Structure 1
Amino acid sequence: MEEYKKRIVKAIQYIDDNLETELSLEKVSNIVAYSPFHFHRIFKLITGEAIQSYIIRKRIEKSAFYLAVKKNVTLKDIYLELGFSNHSTFNKTFKKYYGKSPSEFRKSAPEKFHKIQLKQSKNGQIDTVFRQYICNIENLLNWTTMNFKIKVTDFPEMNLASVMSLGIANVEPSFNVLMDWAKEKKLFPRENVKMISVYHDSFKVTPPDKVRIHACMLLNEKLKQQEGQVFPETIEAGKFIIGSAEVTLNDFEQCWVSLFLWMNENNYFMRKAFPFEIYHTNFKEHPEGKMFVDFCIPIN
């Protein structure tokens, strides 16, 4: 836990100290030794902002500071120094945060702006922010302990019948196609049938309407060839972190972030394979929309 706190604080400090440089997700995640995929999810849950949104906000706040205390520096020099490519982008983004243009802000900025900022820093403003983030981490870990049963185990090879969906909104229709096929093949209903979602894209790099998710059914025998939209897929045997919980659809993001956090806390590393979910019950059959789900991360 202490090591994880250090990494989060290190990431935030690095961003705040290097706003004038190029700051990509890959660069910051590398600084704190996390994969971009894990770091993006964890950063957003803890801070309430995507990392790029956080960086833009901090750059705008720093530009406001410069506008107030560096009256002799031109607007162009300020926005170029902080990574904005042109005046139009800078102006539009600045107005979004402060409700006025940079020029208007500079004219109305209080004379004691500089002293106010120094006073806030001396009073521990930054430390307060870090404590807030660390509190979020502790709450998340407590949520994990209360809601998850986590184990590390080996899975045998799993043979799946799969239907591809492009976009999160198309996952349910893909499952419907899969179910119709399974009923025709007399594979459903049957005892202990397992439905699975395999994530082939990251929501970090792929828009929600483009992300590729496979709607799958676990088979006893390998599907020999593609049949219409249904095609064979294999999850290779190996070691997995399994987080089991009874959750609603709204809990899925928090479940994944919690499990990745647990993985990092316990010094496991994800291998080059796709994470997936195994559904043991149907949320449509529960009065509160809950279902039992295994969240599975392949590890070395």
Structure 2
Amino acid sequence: MSKDYINRINNTLEFINNNLDKELNLAIIAKIAFYSPFHFHRLFSAVTGEAPNQYVLRKRIERSAYQLKHSKEIPVIEIAINNGFESNAAFTKAFKKHYGIAPSQLRKETNAYSKIRQKDSKNGQNQLVISQDICDVKKYLDMGNYTQIEVKTMPAIKVAYVTQVGSFEGIGKAYGKLMSWAGAKGLIGGETVTCYHDNPEVTEIDKIRQSACIVLTKDVQPSGEVKTTTIQSGRHAVGKFEVTFNEFEKAWQTMMVWIAENDYIPNEKRAFYEIYRNNFKNHPQQKCIIEICVPVKSD
């Protein structure tokens, strides 16, 4: 297995920490790692435990806190600008959300700095650590379930579907419409599939496309919002997981790390999808048995 992706992530961490005063959007950071924004976001999150934008914001706030404490001759607004914040208001809001106190309060109270070093921030980060050793990558996931992931050719899958445009929460409504149609056609009980056409870290949330699908075993006539299509056959990394709803993201992150470690490249011109192999309500632990299918480029 290749560990090249670890070096790439380390390079991005170093780049981020050397350029906190500059624009650091997903496209810029992903370019340093030589990954597409979609693949990089999943991989970075899996390896570090934070999304790229969360990491950037946290490092900006932490460095600002250090400078507020140890460089009292520098005005607060100058520290804010030097750490990538566009205004004093934006800096104060982010700082207070992270630590629960304003930047000015940190300077005024003699024991405030020691308090924030021991206190969990409101956005879920652990104890503040100001450190120059910023290129150590931690393992975020238990990667022991690799035997359930393989690259294989997936068959073509004919489906009926309803497409949802907008936040992921709306997929339930899409499935509701699909199942109402499927019930009238006697199709209830067939396997379901969710296709993801866009990445929320790249595409604006109100433009994200995802499709609720039901596998067809016979020809049917679509109507209204329900359409039919065929998910193309092709080479995919396929991971089988038994997960709760809270573990779906971890399963996806596991897939992306496995793909990187095995030197495969996702084919982002095609949809990524999940196949649901059971009804979670019938599972003793209310778990979903799913297959995550990521199209990969051929050699």
TM range (shorter): 0.7 to 0.9
Cα offset, 1:210, TM superposition: 6.6
Amino acid at match of 1:243: G
Q: Which residue of 2 aligns with 1:288?
A: 285
Amino acid at match of 2:178: L
Amino acid at match of 1:162: Y
Cα offset, 1:206, TM superposition: 5.3
Structure 2 distance, partners of 1:74, 1:154, is 60
Q: Is the 8 A contact 1:161 1:231 kept in 2?
A: yes
Alpha carbons of structure 1 residues 173 and 72: separation in structure 2 relative to 1, 3 Å: closer
Instruction: List runs of 5+ in structure 2 lacking aligned partners.
Output: 115-129
Structure 2 distance, partners of 1:99, 1:168, is 30
Alpha carbons of structure 1 residues 29 and 234: separation in structure 2 relative to 1, 3 Å: same
Amino acid at match of 1:187: L
Structure 2 distance, partners of 1:58, 1:103, is 19
Q: Which residue of 1 aligns with 2:149?
A: 150
Cα offset, 1:150, TM superposition: 1.5
Cα offset, 1:86, TM superposition: 1.5
Structure 1 distance, partners of 2:95, 2:178, is 49
Q: Which residue of 1 aligns with 2:240?
A: 244
For each residue in 1:199-253, what CA deviation from the matched residue of structure 2 results, as whole angstroms up to 9, or x when unmatched? 12323245778743211112245656x4022112232222111111222222211
Structure 1 distance, partners of 2:20, 2:211, is 39
Which residues of 2 match residues 27-106 of structure 1 at below 5 A? 27-106=28-107
> When you count helix as a share of all residues, which structure comes out higher?
1
Alpha carbons of structure 1 residues 269 and 100: separation in structure 2 relative to 1, 3 Å: same
Q: Is the 8 A contact 1:197 1:277 kept in 2?
A: yes
Q: Which residue of 2 aligns with 1:268?
A: 264
Out of 205, 225, 231, the position equivalent to 1:235 is: 231
| TM norm structure 2 | 0.81
Q: Secondary structure at the match of 1:68?
A: helix
Greater Cα offset, 95-104 or 157-166: 95-104
Which residues of 2 match residues 192-271 of structure 1 at below 5 A? 193-205=190-202, 211-220=208-217, 226-271=222-267
Amino acid at match of 1:168: F
Amino acid at match of 2:173: P
For each residue in 1:77-103, what CA deviation from the matched residue of structure 2 results, as whole angstroms up to 9, or x when unmatched? 222222212221122222333444333
Kindly indicate whether residue 132 of structure 2 is the aligned counterpart of residue 134 of structure 1.
no
Structure 2 distance, partners of 1:259, 1:221, is 32
Q: Is the 8 A contact 1:38 1:257 kept in 2?
A: no
CA RMSD across the alignment: 2.8
Q: Secondary structure at the match of 1:19?
A: coil
What is the aligned residue count? 278
Structure 1 distance, partners of 2:38, 2:62, is 27
For each residue in 1:181-212, what CA deviation from the matched residue of structure 2 results, as whole angstroms up to 9, or x when unmatched? 223223344xxx32111112323245778743
Q: Which residue of 1 aligns with 2:187?
A: 187
Greater Cα offset, 99-108 or 20-29: 99-108
Amino acid at match of 2:187: L
Q: Which residue of 2 aligns with 1:168?
A: 168
Q: Secondary structure at the match of 1:95?
A: helix
Q: Secondary structure at the match of 2:142?
A: helix
Q: Is the 8 A contact 2:37 2:202 kept in 1?
A: no
Cα offset, 1:109, TM superposition: 5.9
Q: Secondary structure at the match of 1:140?
A: coil
Structure 1 distance, partners of 2:212, 2:8, is 35
Instruction: List runs of 5+ in structure 1 lacking aligned partners.
Output: 114-123
